Amino acid sequence: MDYQAFFKTSLDSLRDSGDYRVFANLERHNGSFPNATARAEDTKEVTIWCSNDYLGMGQHPDVLAAMHAAIDNSGAGAGGTRNISGTTFYHVQLEHELADLHAKEAALLFTSGYVSNWAALSTLAGRIPDCLVLSDALNHASMIEGIRHSKAERQIWKHNDLADLEAKLTAQPLERPKLIAFESVYSMDGDIAPIAAICDLADKYNAMTYLDEVHAVGLYGPRGGGISEQEGLMQRVTVIEGTLGKAFGVVGGYIAASAELCDFVRSFASGFIFTTALPPAVVAGAAASVRYLKQSQIERQIHKERVAEVRARFDELGIPHTANAGHIIPVIVGDAVKCKYICDILLKDYGIYIQPINYPTVPRGTERLRITPSPVHSAADVDALVTALSDLWTQCELARKPMAAQ
Ligand SMILES: *Cc1c(COP(=O)(O)O)cnc(C)c1O
């Protein structure tokens, strides 16, 4: 086989479909996020409108001070897996901080949110005898991969559809172990799961619940514990999974659950056991971020206001955006090539960086801009965004009729 030719043909067909991913090469400047320098043939100053550093915690003084102090104190790396010399005082402290955040007995750190979902779900579903996983149709790739790796039976229920979930639960013997896996805020549509009703079904049918709060931790609830905290449901959910890389602004993932469950995953999950622990500085920074957002409301408050403002301005100008109760603003373009074109022009002519969201991240025909306002976007940033998008939307509506339907 001509391996190189195979790679090239595959990439060419990806390019033809419009789904080929081009990464923006960005240089963030501490203190001036969401502004950054985009490095291409010509260097350009841009405003980022698609970051998951939702609150700007990636440049928060408390976070940076904790990271500097930890480097000075402990050096660069952890030096081993958690089992073999990689568990530090910082790791233990952060796990306590996270257990407290979610009012759970324990928490367990992973190198990313992806790894936490993959490792926890594959271990739980793989080791609980005859476990049936009931997975929401829009679950994140990391959950899907974890469930697949478990080799447990999996049934997919229609997104946020309680009747479909109940039909699948009813069809099973009450005593069969079941795990309902879902998210609180869905990343690409920004909509929110009916957590209480799902917990009711879990109780009724003797199921465990596994809730990915990656897009909610730090952002919702009086202490940033997520939608389950906001709705007073943390005690009812069996496993809460989160990331330290989005609203908390650093990197890392975790689960929070009972002491026994966390100890079980700690003891059996390959993706936890056989990898070097996060560096102490990263862990210290994440802990500072979690601690800070437990007591500060102002970031969450301004974040909400900024999201409402952008939506109101879009409404004024007739720019279509998908309604949801969360902070993510999806603007559906519905065509991979056009979606990429709009983003290219935004970057080139307006200095606005929004990454096009294409297949397989979202279904074909629902290609979109995913806009994430933050407290660090200024009124001038908002003005520039809505003006640019309004210009472009008009231009593309005239030129490409199918878009007018959106
Ligand atoms: C980003 C994401 C993850 C993975 O978290 P990382 O910390 O980025 O690895 C998991 N679940 C959902 C829903 C996500 O959007």
Active site residue 204: no
Nearest ligand 1 atom to alpha carbon 252:
7
Identify the weakest region by mean pLDDT among 189-203, 266-280, 355-369.
355-369
Output the pLDDT for position 22. Answer: 87
CA angle 307, 312, 316 (to 5 degrees): 150
Over the stretch 146-179, which tens digit does the pLDDT of each residue have? 999 999 999 999 999 999 999 999 999 999 999 9
pTM to 2 decimals? 0.95
Instruction: Determine the Cα–Cα distance for residues 333 and 341; give it in Å rounded to an integer.
Output: 11
Nearest ligand 1 atom to alpha carbon 140:
13
246, 251, 275, best to mutate for ligand 1 pocket (most atoms within 8 Å of CB)? 246
- State whether the beta carbon of 242 lies less than 6 angstroms from ligand 1: no
* C-alpha of residue 3 to centroid of ligand 1, in Å: 32
CA angle 63, 370, 48 (to 5 degrees): 50
Instruction: Determine the Cα–Cα distance for residues 163 and 190; give it in Å rounded to an integer.
Output: 21
Over the stretch 76-114, which tens digit does the pLDDT of each residue have? 999 999 999 999 999 999 999 999 999 999 999 999 999
Over the stretch 23-80, which tens digit does the pLDDT of each residue have? 999 999 999 999 999 998 889 999 999 999 999 999 999 999 999 999 999 999 999 9
- Arithmetic mean of pLDDT, 186-208: 97
SS (H, E, C) 258-305: CHHHHHHHHHHCHHHHCCECCCHHHHHHHHHHHHHHHHCCHHHHHHHH
Backbone angles phi, psi at 255, to 5 degrees: -120, 150
Output the pLDDT for position 399. Answer: 33
Backbone angles phi, psi at 180, to 5 degrees: -95, 115
Output the pLDDT for position 397. Answer: 61
- State whether the beta carbon of 212 lies less than 6 angstroms from ligand 1: yes
* C-alpha of residue 401 to centroid of ligand 1, in Å: 35
Handedness of CA 326, 225, 50, 289 (dihedral sign): positive
Question: At 387, which helix (H) or strand (E)?
Answer: helix 379-399
At 361, is the secondary structure helix, strand, or coil? coil
